[in-house]
Structure 1
Amino acid sequence: MKHGISLLPDCRPERRSATEYYEDVLAMATLADEAGMHYVKMTEHYLGNYGGYSPSPLTFLAAVAARTSRIRLMTGCVLPAFHHPIQLAAHAAMVDVLSHGRLDVGFARAWLPYEFAALGVPMDTSRDRFEKTIRAVLRLWTEDKVTEECEYFSYSDATSLPAVVQRPHPPVWGAAIVTPQSFEWLARQGMGLLVSPSLLQRDLQYTKKLIRIYLDTFEEAHQGTGRVPQVAVSMPLYVAATDAEARAVAIPHLLEYNNVTIEAADAWTHVTSTSYPGYESMRERLSAVTEESLRAGACAVVGSPETAVDTIRAVAEYLHADVCLWNIDYGGQPRETMARSMRLFVDEVLPHVTG
């Protein structure tokens, strides 16, 4: 099992500046690299407190590449619906070159109505744009003189530069949340799966069923090819000397993260889309996360080193995780808080859950 850190800024500017946030998480990425962890992942979003400090994960990962030597750099994720494939292929290839072949590219469909509205992209086209843009990017990484013609982009004889270092191309992943079709499509394309379970433990069984759809579809589609599925699970992490101390620190930050997510989900209040069935009730689902529900048990690893080891082993087995990507920046927490947890994780947890 491999491990990494997963970053999704949820900072309110009045509480933490972008400069502070970037310096703090770059320091955590350096610590993860020194500890021999496998990945640092950053997510793309725009405008709001939910992810708004990371409009360009590739830019952030280029900064990580300059400070590290081993850790792999993962977009988790870039949003193809908002990019032309020539730009996306070239920008990603540049980071692959700068990092000497350490880039993994994760793609996601995007889910926030205000991002689609601001960028002038119809939400109902998101799945089609997602699939066609990914296929176009893969062609640009692996072929010369590429020609594409569709309703979203058109070009002929395009040879993307710089060329990617990794052959045939960087590892590709796709994010899926609640739609079985997304899990099936990623499996048929042979892509790795990125999944972030709800904070509510009651939802974990459904996440397990969706992962099983991915695994079964992958086996059906690629049997005999030698290709293997890859499941990466992102969850919040906080390790302290005792369970009580870990909960006391983590729960307020988890609630703040959930509050910021609820504020983003408010954009669905008067919006529906055929591409996002059920998303109009997302705010209601998120509102079920309370301090009481978190204390009773959350889809997070919060506790002493001993508790963390036991929880990680159980979660990884239950969700068939090949990679665990630990969300360490939730709730806009400062460097000191992240660093205390990370050091305990690296020293007293990681040696028991790697391999």
Structure 2
Amino acid sequence: MKFSVIFEAQLADPTVEREHQVIRDCVEQAVLAEEMGFDRIWAVEHHSLKWYAHMSAPEIFLTWVAAKTRTIRIGHGVVCMPFAFNHPARVAERAAMLDLLSGGRVDLGAGRGGTLQETSLCGVDQDRTTQEVEEALRIIGKAWQQEELEHHGELLDIGPHPILPRPKQTPHPPLFLACSRTETLRQAAGLGIGALVMGFAGPESIKEMRTAYDTARAERGGERFVSSVVNDHFSVLCPTIVLDNGETARRIGIRGQRFFAQSIGHWYGGAGIPDEAVVEGADEAEEMRRAAEQVEARLHEHSIPVRPNATATFNADHAYGTADDAIRYVEQLRDAGADEIMCLIQMGTVPQEACMETIRQWGEKVIPHFRDQPILDQPAPDQPAPDQPAPDQSVLDQEATR
């Protein structure tokens, strides 16, 4: 099983100064993730989603991280593939350049970026996003496997052109699709590419999603494959904060997830601005339940059915607590069919100290539990073993109530 960290660059109180600091903090976390034995980082792409995601240029972020690291894989999780966001030929050029310069460490995920806020910025046709994503993946697969790209599709017509440079990985970096519904899971399986799965609903939901993905894999004939190579990797989101003080970790993690969920509700569901306040002594689990009830009430008010996934982002039962708590939760995700645990640590109200300590705890205690040998016992050549002291627990306790 693989382990990764995903970055949204979320922040409460999004001043220019805090925005700049959060992005620098994400780089610091990514570099530490390599030192602590994580296999991969992922960076999202979103546009104009204040609070929720300030990661608008992941190709730059990932390049910066690649230059500061040597072994960790560098993942686009995901590129917004509708053509008005990113022309597929340009995606192929940029990803190949990064793959070459990073020594063959790139993974490339595709997604729609389908909020009205984003599509209105770049003039994207919302009705064509799904179709454009699939055609973009076909173009990219061709671009990396032919001497010259030539594509005559339903949406784009491209005469013969060489796409330069060629990636280091042969025939190309692994391809993925962002998946949150059964339809996208079946699409990913049919195209022969990996699935990046939202995991907020918990292990039982992940098990159902894995079944849907595997069923589609068993039924596919290969005629829709976008490449000559198939990637069936199933990566699952895992919100997590891990500290020595499990109660502090749960309080920080659940508060951060509530900000995350409310930010999604604001941009995807028309809810109000996310609550930025961190209240000393608050029962964060109870606050999460109240926030979920508010979503349900709003749906009822507008006569919208409350489906099981409507409040999934408010489910607080994740890898929050001590390292032992995280191990137990990861075991459930593994048993549900996860090939990769994609840690969501950097959430809007989570302090940097808690993010860094969580990465350390995963590297020292959680990941080694699932490895044949602890990674930290064997530092890479010329790479000093991590020698960064853990923050004082009292600092984390203060941050949790700040």
Determine which structure has the larger helix proportion and give its number: 1
Q: Take 1:307 and 1:67, find their aligned partners in 2: how far apart are those partners?
A: 31
Query: Could you tell me which residue of structure 2 aligns to residue 91 of structure 1?
Result: 94
Counting matched residue pairs gives 333
Equivalences for residues 1-150 of structure 1 within 5 A: 1-12=1-12, 13-14=14-15, 17-81=18-82, 82-150=85-153
Report runs of 4+ in structure 1 exceeding 6 Å deviation.
280-284
Give the Å deviation of 1:148: 2.1
Change (3 A) 1:207 1:284: closer
Partner-residue secondary structure (3-state), 1:354:
coil
Question: How far apart are the structure 2 equivalents of 1:231 and 1:132?
Answer: 22
- Structure 2: which 5+ residue stretches go unaligned? 223-227, 273-303, 373-402
Cα distance change, pair 218–286 in 1 and its aligned pair in 2 (3 A): closer
**Judging changes above 3 Å, is the alpha-carbon distance between structure 1 residues 259 and 227 closer, same or farther for their aligned structure 2 residues?**
closer
Aligned residues of 1:40 and 1:71 also touching (Cα < 8 A): yes
2:322 matched residue in structure 1: 304
Partner AA of 1:238 in structure 2? I
Change beyond 3 A, Cα 1:136–1:226: closer
Alpha carbons of 1:169 and 1:152: their partners in 2 closer, same or farther (altered >3 Å)?
Answer: same
Corresponding residue of 2:299: none
Conservation of the 8 A alpha-carbon contact between 1:113 and 1:267: no
1:230 to 229, 233, 247: 233
Query: Which residue is equivalent to 2:220?
Result: 221
Q: How far is 1:323 from its partner? A: 0.8
Deviation (angstroms), 1:207: 3.9
Which aligned pairs between 1:122-201 and structure 2 lie closer than 5 A? 122-150=125-153, 152-178=155-181, 180-198=182-200, 200-201=201-202
The CA RMSD measured in Å over matched residues stands at: 2.6
| 8 Å contact from structure 1 (residues 141, 163) kept in 2 | yes
Q: Could you tell me which amino acid in structure 1 is paired with residue 360 of structure 2? A: R
Q: Aligned with 2:117: secondary structure?
A: helix
Question: Could you say which residue in structure 1 is the equivalent of 2:204?
Answer: 205
TM-score (structure 2 length as normaliser): 0.77
Q: CA deviation at 1:205?
A: 3.4
Deviation at 1:133, TM superposition (A): 0.8
Give the deviation of 1:111 after TM superposition. Answer: 2.8
Rounded to whole Å, the distance in 2 between the matches of 1:268 and 1:147 is 44
Identity across matched positions, percent: 24
Letter in 2 for 1:158: H
Q: Structure 1 residues 283 and 29, CA, compared in 2 at 3 Å: closer, same or farther?
A: farther
Compared with structure 1, are the counterparts of its residues 15 and 289 closer, same or farther at alpha carbon in structure 2 (3 Å cutoff)? farther
Partner of 2:353: 336
CA distance in 2, matches of 1:288, 1:66: 37
Q: Any conservation in 2 of the 1:190–1:222 contact (CA below 8 Å)?
A: no
Bigger radius of gyration among the two: 2
CA distance in 2, matches of 1:333, 1:248: 10
* Mapped partners of 1:144, 1:281: distance in 2: 51
Q: Distance in 2 between matches of 1:206 and 1:229?
A: 19
